[in-house]
Structure 1
Amino acid sequence: MREATMSDPLPRPGRRRPIDPDILVERHRLALMSMTSTEALDRFAARLGIDTRSLARRFVTALSERAGIDYEQMLRVELAREGVDSVLADRARIGPRLLMWSAATTDMFTVCGADRRPAWRDTFTPEDLGSGRVSTVAALKAIELAGHWIAEWGAQAGTLRLNLATNQGIDLAGLHRFAGGVSVVVDVAAVPLDNPAAQQCLHREPVSSRYLDLTDLLHPPGAPA
């Protein structure tokens, strides 16, 4: 974990209890999955008393094994973005902020807008299925849609909070590269419970994105950033 975590105040002597990162991650799994940065994970770990290198290593392992969170991949993506995304980030900061949800079955994807209604649902193409990563492809469809509507709105760039139905097998680096190519700064989280896109995957009727309005995708005040 980042060195900053190790500088947080230690618990007062005499009041420390044994810490088991596996139990902590299991207990807070859903909250951890909703976090979109290593900084947020580090702050959370510090509050839980994970303040040594040994505990940090066990925490990172528990994140992967119990919550499907690849901390090292997240960190690599963040470090890569720091050097190349400054112009995009500045443009996105004054552009529209969108909120979307994505999910996939073995042959279909569903994308929902901020209003939790289906914005796009269709079958995968043979090329999509050939990748073997349907959840990643569903996320790419959401980013593609966000980029299209940001451009239609007339902005140079925008931001997208993307809530996935699962984080298993997700190519985070690929999502961020694709997002940069369509002028989107994307924050990716996993929200497996009460995910409208996952619920809408129970339906099979295609939903065309051509009738969307940007207001259907705008990030509502008070929703997770």
Structure 2
Amino acid sequence: MKHPPTATPVTPDMVVRVRADELRRCTRTRQLDRIAAQHHFSTDTEFDCYVDALLVHTGIDYDRLHQIEETRRRTQRQRARLTALGPTVRLWSAATMSRFTLCAHDGRVLWRDEFSDPGSIRTAADAAEASARQAIWLAEHARNYAGVYVARLALVLFRSRGIPCTRLHQTAEAAGLVLEVSTATTGNPAAEQRDAPEAVDWHTSDLTPLLQTGRTPA
């Protein structure tokens, strides 16, 4: 009597070899963990073999990636604590297809100028994003001028549809800012003053009052 052939067990090494391209696209340990769970690599030995195979066949250093994530989480927690105690920069932002306007919390125009790369502005969303990036740059400059390690940027946009907010948050984080984005299509002083003909150079604006304590609305 013939017995059915025994199925070959799926090993971590086999999985990593077959799914190498997919694994290389993973940027978080939780994504790698999900694939391990799909193949029931639940014991310490199996998972260690999976981690070893990742390094050998894909160049992914799981342990180093985990350390980077832990460091990032600690940094974010520390930054959040400092931000809760630190100042806030409140700015209004609006744009046309050719230039941007930024206003302080009190409606005073801080900066109105042409976009430095007009060829990159193809849609209203492009213009709004470019204006928001100028606001982040200005807030970073004010933070540095004040000698503050981290600050909150409460940024009110005239338009937010189509803007990749994740990229804005990443840009702000790199600038030492915790970004809070909201939208105001009415009562936005930047929008109300965006069509004024004259440019306003930010160098002529006093940036010191931009950093405020407290969390009163913009």
Q: What is the TM-score of this pair, normalised by structure 1? A: 0.58
Check if 1:123 corresponds to 2:117. no
Q: Which residue, 91, 97, 100 being the options, matches 1:106?
A: 97
Q: 2:152 aligns to what?
A: 159
Moved more, 213-222 or 104-113: 213-222
One-letter amino acid matched to 1:99 = R
For 2:73 and 2:133, the matched residues in 1 are separated by 22
Q: Evaluate the alpha carbon distance shift between residue 86 and residue 131 of structure 1 in structure 2; reply closer, same or farther with a 3 A threshold.
A: farther
Q: Please, which of 109, 126, 130 is the counterpart of residue 137 of structure 1?
A: 130
Gaps of 5+ in 1: 1-80
Listed one character per residue, the Cα deviations across residues 139-178 of structure 1 (whole Å, up to 9, x for unaligned) are 1111110011011100101001100001111110011000
Q: Could you tell which deviates more after superposition, 88-97 or 200-209?
A: 88-97
In structure 2, stretches of 5+ residues that fail to align are 1-71
Runs of 4+ more than 3 Å apart: 81-84, 218-223
State the identity as a percent.
34
Measured on the aligned residues, the alpha-carbon RMSD in Å equals 2.3
Partner Cα distance (2:87, 2:147) in 1: 10
- Aligned residue for 2:81, secondary structure, equals helix
Residues paired across the two proteins, number? 145
Equivalent runs, 1:17-36 vs 2, <5 Å:
none
Matches within 5 A, 1:39-188: 85-126=76-117, 129-130=120-121, 132=123, 133-188=126-181
Amino acid paired to 1:150: R
How far is 1:224 from its partner? 1.9
SS in 2 for 1:102: strand
1:213 to 195, 206, 215: 206
Q: Distance in 1 between matches of 2:88 and 2:204?
A: 20
